Structure formats: C-alpha cells, structure tokens
Structure 1
Amino acid sequence: MKKLFLFLIAAVTMTFIACSDDDNGPTPIIQDADGDGIEDSVDNCPNAANADQADNDNDGIGNVCDPTPNGEVATCNDGIKNGDETDVDFGGSCAGLITVTGEITEDTTWTRDNIYLLGGKVVVGVGVTLTIEPGTIIKGKSGSGSLASALIVQRGSKINAVGTAERPIIFTSEQDNIQVGETAGTNLDQNDNGLWGGVLVLGNAPASLSGDVTEEQIEGIPASDTFGLFGGNDPADDSGDLAYISIRHGGALIGEGNEINGLTLGGVGSGTSISNIEIVGNEDDGLEIFGGTVDVSNVFVWSVADDGIDLDQAWSGTLTNGMVVQGLRSDSALELDGPEGSTTGGFTLNNITLVGNTDAAGTGSRRIADYRDGLEADINNVFVTGFSDVQLVRLNGDESATTYNNDLLNFMAWEFVLPAGVANVNAMHTLKDVTIATDFVTDSSTWASAVAEGAATVGADTSAFAWTYSNTKANLGF
C-alpha cells in the first residue's frame, strides 16, 4: 500500500507539471536569492556564486559558498589553518605588529598570533613573569649603542618561554621577512650578523668575580643601566624556563669590542630550566654563561662571528649535548675561562660536536678551543671535524697549565678527524704563554684519538637538532 501511495503521488506530480507546461507557461521561481536563475531549493549554493556576491579570489564562486574565498591563502579568521604545522587560523596578512619598549611592569603573555617588535631594551620588571607562547615571533629593531634592542630578564624576574619542536619561539631581526605561522623567512641567512641585540637572562646565583664582589654588570649592557646587574648568593635561583628557542642575526654593537651575545646567562641559578636552544649568525658569541649554576642541554650554534660557546667566572653547571658549526669569521668554537675571584669551581661538558670552517686557502675560523684563566672543568665525549692544521686546541697561560697539571682540568674521549698532512692528535694541541712544565700537548693522545669521517663514536646526538632553522637552511640531514 505504501509503495502504491508513493507511485500515485509521483504520477500526480508529473501530470501537474505537464499540464502547467502545456497550459500555463513556466512555473515561476519561488525564491532565487543569488539571482542565478536556479531556485534556492535545488541550488547547491543558494546564497552565493555569482556577480551579485563578493568573490575575493575570482574563482567564480561567491565567498559565502566558497571554502577558501581568499585565493586559497589563509587570512584573518577565514577558517583556513595556516599549514599543517599549526592548528590556528590567524593569517599572516592580519597579524598584529606590537612594538614593545621599556619595562614590562606586570605579568604579560606574548601570543603567536602577533609579531612583537623590541623597540629598544625591553626589561622584565622585578617580580614580573613574561610568558611567550610556542610559535611566537619576536623581532629586534635595528640600532647600536644605547639604541640596541634586547630582551633582558633581570634579577628577580622570570621568563616562561617554552616552545615546541613544531612551534619554536623565534627571536630575529626586524629585517627578517618571516611572518606569523612561519619558522623561517627567505631574505636572510647565517651570514647576516649584528642586526639587533640578543636575549639576556640574569639571576642571583653566585659567580667568581674580580675583587670577590657579589654582583657585576653584565657584558653588553651599559654600566648606567642597573637592570644589567647579575650575581648573588642563591645557587637555586629560578629565572624561569626556556625551551625550543631560536635566536638569529643578533649581536649589535654596544661599544668598541662590546657586542651582545645571542643568549647571555649571568648568575642564573639551578632552579632555571634551559634546553633546546639555537643561535644563528650572531656578531658576538653564540651562548655565553657568566657564573651561576644552571644546567643547559641541546644547544646548537651556527656561524657566529666570535666564540660559539663561551663559559666564564666559574660557572658550575653542566652542558649536555651541544654542537658548534663555525663560520669563516668565527673565533674559538669553545672559549672556556676560569674564575676571576678567589671562589673556584668548575663545570662539565658532555657530548659535544665541533665543526670547523675553512676556505680554499686553509684559513677561516680560528681555533677549536681555548682554555684560559685557570679553568677548572671536565670535558668529555667530544667529536672534532673540519678544522685545519692551524686551528688547534690551545692551553692558554700558566694558571690553566697549573689546573691541568693538578687534574682540575680533565678530558676524556675526544675524537678528531685529522686534517690532511696531520698524522697524530698531539699536533692538534698547542700552548700559549705557558712557562711551566706541562705534558698537555704530548699527553693528549691518552684522551684523544683519530677517526675517519663518519666513524665517530662520541659527540652530540644530532637528532636533537632536527627542529632547528639551521638543519633546514643548511640541509644538514639531522
């Protein structure tokens, strides 16, 4: 009975249409909102598609019915995600550019849907926490001397800047054309140095300072700026958390021979967490640590114009898994200094890879490592490659020779890819201004050995650097 009923309804309908066509002319369209001659009830896109509707991408389909009405490119709040690496629709063309200057006086969060421009020295105020979301881009304004831009986390303040491998937090120059949602621009490379300042984190942990003072002005900040002081008596001081941060193209000149490092840590305590840091194209050092007790892991430095990693003033933490890739203008891959005051102490380096850079004439980056000022340290599991026969490991001065002789400066498991013409690892070691007896050079074969390229058993775990801009830019294959 049901099938018969449906059949009758269909038959009546067809009869009605036939009669109407024959007797009364075309059936009038009841509603056609978009004016396309198709009744809305059978129109796949009844409210858009034609000249009477906006069609931003000129594809013949009006915006209301078009899933991508902006030329298939994400813009503000159009429902299109900004690529597989994000789950947020914040379109680069609509992202805000927020200029920040002076002191941050209350807890503040910087979000990844904006770009933040450091208009000069931006200082996190005492008792204040600056939080930076994963994927956020911070650009530094060009300028030198008193106009150099930098982010300074002063003593008594905190930074919570924790990115991810997919969404690193990026500090770069205002000249970088990187946009919101991107991890790299297209107009700068590792040789673009000194275009802005850098990032400085300062704490209350102890440092061995000249004259046995408890505090000192950090390098790169004029003495008149008291927010540049670091040092104290709290080894467990907490300056916050930093992870998956890429710092690019910094190192602006403050004064003659005084530039800002990519990342500077001064008197930073063990309560602070620092891991997965990349520094690229800095005019001064990549990472420099002045005293303090903080541990650091997974550090990658590429093509800086001074030292790759510089450790000073009896820093007593541990750096685990680090890699320095030299540029042609680089100084020492490692510059390691001892105490400046009567307080002694040392640090530990584990799992380090150092890659030299030479041109056709055999010149380029200056040396593998420099040990100075009575350094105390344990430096273990280091792989060295790409250096020439004049780019050496240097023991510098009688103080350092003394700590070496007294087993306060120790090495274990170094492997060298020797340059052409060098047959023994002892030839990769040298002395400077050493007047006392030491077997540093002749004894190096007890802790160092030669290996073929690709056969190293020590050094950094490079897979930890797969997320970096350097890996993508230089096609390193991590």
Structure 2
Amino acid sequence: MKTKLRIASITFIISLFAHAQQQPKGITGNTNWMNNWTSFRPAVNDYSEATNIIAGTIDKDTRLVKRNVYHLVGVVYVTNNATLTIEPGTVIRGDDKTCGTLVITNGAKIIAEGLETDPIIFTSENEINNRKPGDWGGIIVLGKAPINTLGGVHTLPFDLEPTLNHYGGQDPEDNSGILKYVRIEYAGRKLSASKELNGLSLAGVGRKTIVSNIQISFSNDDSFECYGGDLNLSNLISFRTTDDDFDFTQGAQINISNSIAIRHPFSSDISGSRCFEVDSYEKIANTDMTKKMTKINASNITLVNLEENNQGLVRESAYIRENTFFNLTNSVVSGFAPFVLLEGAIGNGEANLSKISFKNVIANNCKGEIESESASNNTGIKNYYGNPQYDIQFTKVKLNELFYLPNIKANPDFRLNVNNTLAIGN
C-alpha cells in the first residue's frame, strides 16, 4: 500500500512540474539571474569609507564616479530638469543622523545603470554588523505620469520641501531615467508613527522610465511603492523587508514580471506584512473616480516565506482592496496564511471578483486559500476561483524540493526545481 501511495505521489509531482515546464511558473531564466550582482548578507559587506559628501540641491547635470564613495547627507534634491548619472560600481552610503535621502524631483532624471558584474549600491553608513533597517531614508522619484487623486497632482507624506514635493500629470510616457542593477540596503527610516520612507518610492513615474534588476534588502517599511504612474517593472528582488514588498496605490498602472519577494517572520511588522498590497486610494473622498483605478498585471512572480514553521508575523501573500484590478499569472507562492486575503467590501459577486484573477499559480504550504476579511464571503469566493480556468494548484512541498537552492547563505536560486523534485523517491 505504501508503495502505491509513493508512486501516486511521484506521479502527481511529475505531472505538476511537467505542466510547469510547459508554462514556466515563478521567476524564470536559462541561468540564475540573481547571481553576481546581489547580496543576501549585506550586514557583513565591507564597504569603503566615504570620500565625498553629497548634500543640498543638485541643479545641474552631475556624475558620480566609481572611484569615490559618497556620503548622502540629509535630503538631497535633484532639481531644475538636471540628470544625476551614477557610474557602475559606485557606492553611496546614506547618513544615519540626518536620514540621508535622494529625491529625483518632477522633471529631473536619474541614470543609475549598473552592470551584472558591477552593481550600484546604496547602503547604510554604519559599519559591519551595526547596520539595521531604517538606517537612512531611501530613493524617491517624482514624475509626471497620471495619478487618480483629485486635481491629478499630489504630494508625498515625507516632510519634503513643499515647493519640490509634487508628482502626477498627464504624461504616461514620462521618463525619469534608469535604475538597473542597483542594490538598496537598510533604507526606510520611520519618521513618525504614520510616516515611513520606503526603499524605493516611485510617484507618478512614467513608462519610459526603466526599472529593472533592483534588489532592496532590509527596508524598514515597504521595499517598492508605486503611487500612481504607469510602469513596466522586471527582475525585482525584495528581501526581508519589514512591511510590504510591493505596494501599489493611487491608480498605478503596473506590469511587473520575473520578480521575487523573500520574507521571514523576524523581518515582518507586527501589524501585518504582505508581499503585495494593492489599493486604488487611501481615502475615496480624495479620489477622482473618473480616473483609472489601480491595475496590476503580475507574471512569473515568486513569493516565498523562508520560515516553514510560520511564527505568525507572515500572513497573506497579497491583500487586495476594493475597486482594484489584480492579475497574478504563472507564479509560485509558498508559505503564507492564507494564500490571498480580499477586503471584505469586495464581497463574493462576479462583478468584483472578475477584476481579480489567479491563473496558472502554485500555492504551496499556504494555510488557507483565497479568503475574505468577511468570512461570510468565503464559500462564494472558493466556488468562483475553483473554476478550472484559474488552475490554482494547492501543494505541500518542502522549499528545498520546490526550488533549486532556497538557501540565502549560499547563492540562492529560486527557480522551480524540476529535476530535484522529479528525483524524490529515486
């Protein structure tokens, strides 16, 4: 009997991953694209002491060069349509005492195009083993792409200079520059109980802006947050952030692909942290309901909780609020409770649920499926997403069987581990 069960189990797994080969799920690539430029142990990286200070306002085209290490002091604004260019391999260390923060204002640009073998690094000024989430502010980019707040222009709640703190407009093609092969470590300073900076804040940023191959580690708030705008995001890594990995609001129109969030209970907020938090507004009274609501198309995404013995601080992988569109396809989600949580106001009717889809998704070791804040909706929701067209596969496979190498102490590889999984029982 045990032999028959063993054969049946192996047959199921072979079927599961053969299907995955036909339609690759989770992050993909012929090779492990997370190699070479990433760092999953930034606390012990030996960065050189700063040789130059960046402070105040940059109002003309400026270039930061690799041979220098820069100390980012206070809030530094790039203004006057200037372009800040940063050479591959440059290290910028954010000041702890003054909450070093870089702000690319509306009309200015940042060209931070690192290389796979020579990434650009924004990190803490503190020394080895003395770094912590929130050591400095982060990077803020303000653009001219549409948002759905009343008036079409808004400000961020980060105590920035009022004359420079504005974003939004009518240009979805707006170009704020390039962020590629960049690491952002220990950002996300908490300014007050209700004001927290993110690792990377993209506010009203347009689709001609390139954001790709970015790793944000140990942010004290969200890793990536988009306030409106229209962007294509790819090859993003969020590692052990305190709050949300990917947060979208104010009518953001986002395509995000081949990206991963790696969570751990000891790096999560007691108030509840998710990989995705998706809403269209904070207050409907401040929203122009004739404008676009938030729409997120997420494909080939991997969301993973590293702690298989869940401590309770890692909750749902995604929290979706009403009046938003969210599509998750060809993805892998492992270790959350539940898989997804919907705001109670969404209900269980097709008119609302049709805006939210999950297709060709593996939900592994999740304690609960797609659930509502209002338990009375759960039966209808389960029936709706139980339709075979969604192809959500609920599995229970260990991380080291699901992925090639889910060990962050080595060179992790979170692509689906087809070969090792097929070898179970051999």
What is the TM-score of this pair, normalised by structure 1? 0.68
Alignment pair present for 1:301 and 2:215: no
Alignment pair present for 1:150 and 2:101: yes
Q: 1:130 aligns with which of 84, 88, 93?
A: 84
Q: 2:51 aligns with which of 86, 89, 97?
A: 97
TM-superposed deviation, 1:444:
2.9
Cα distance per residue 1:335-370 (max 9 Å; x no partner): 111254311242211111111244756423232110
Alignment pair present for 1:432 and 2:373: yes
Pick closer, same or farther for the CA change 1:205–1:451 going to 2, 3 Å. Answer: same
Question: What is the DSSP-based 3-state SS (H/G/I as helix, E as strand, rest coil) of the residue aligned with 1:443?
Answer: helix
Give the counterpart letter for 1:376 in structure 2: F
Cα distance in 2 for residues equivalent to 1:279 and 1:436: 36
Cα distance in 1 for residues equivalent to 2:347 and 2:324: 6
Is the contact made by 1:334 and 1:369 (CA closer than 8 Å) also made in structure 2?
A: yes
Is the contact made by 2:348 and 2:380 (CA closer than 8 Å) also made in structure 1?
A: no
- The higher-RCO structure (CA 8 Å, 6+ apart) is 2
Cα distance in 1 for residues equivalent to 2:263 and 2:105: 30
Question: What is the DSSP-based 3-state SS (H/G/I as helix, E as strand, rest coil) of the residue aligned with 1:233?
Answer: coil
Is the contact made by 1:413 and 1:458 (CA closer than 8 Å) also made in structure 2?
A: no
Is the contact made by 1:169 and 1:245 (CA closer than 8 Å) also made in structure 2?
A: yes
Is the contact made by 1:370 and 1:393 (CA closer than 8 Å) also made in structure 2?
A: yes
Structure 2: tracts of 5 or more residues without a match: 1-35, 38-45, 282-286, 415-426
Give the counterpart letter for 1:476 in structure 2: P
Give 1:157-306 correspondences, 5 Å limit: 157-175=108-126, 177=127, 186-187=128-129, 192-209=132-149, 212-219=150-157, 221-222=158-159, 224-306=161-243
Question: What is the DSSP-based 3-state SS (H/G/I as helix, E as strand, rest coil) of the residue aligned with 1:441?
Answer: helix
Cα distance in 2 for residues equivalent to 1:93 and 1:258: 29
Per the alignment, residue 279 of structure 2 pairs with 337
Cα distance in 1 for residues equivalent to 2:234 and 2:318: 19
Cα distance per residue 1:269-308 (max 9 Å; x no partner): 0111110010000000011111101111001001111011
Give 1:349-364 correspondences, 5 Å limit: 349-358=298-307, 360=309, 362-364=311-313
Pick closer, same or farther for the CA change 1:315–1:401 going to 2, 3 Å. Answer: farther
Alignment pair present for 1:371 and 2:311: no
Per the alignment, residue 79 of structure 1 pairs with none
What is the TM-score of this pair, normalised by structure 2? 0.76
Pick closer, same or farther for the CA change 1:337–1:438 going to 2, 3 Å. Answer: farther
How well do the aligned residues superpose, as a CA RMSD in angstroms? Answer: 3.1
TM-superposed deviation, 1:229:
1.2
Identity across matched positions, percent: 30
Question: What is the DSSP-based 3-state SS (H/G/I as helix, E as strand, rest coil) of the residue aligned with 1:242?
Answer: strand
Per the alignment, residue 386 of structure 1 pairs with 335
Per the alignment, residue 66 of structure 1 pairs with none
Cα distance in 2 for residues equivalent to 1:414 and 1:94: 43
TM-superposed deviation, 1:439:
2.6
Cα distance in 1 for residues equivalent to 2:296 and 2:86: 30
The total of aligned residue pairs comes to: 356
Q: 1:407 aligns with which of 354, 361, 364?
A: 354
Is the contact made by 2:310 and 2:335 (CA closer than 8 Å) also made in structure 1?
A: no
Is the contact made by 2:48 and 2:69 (CA closer than 8 Å) also made in structure 1?
A: no
TM-superposed deviation, 1:405:
3.1
TM-superposed deviation, 1:435:
7.2
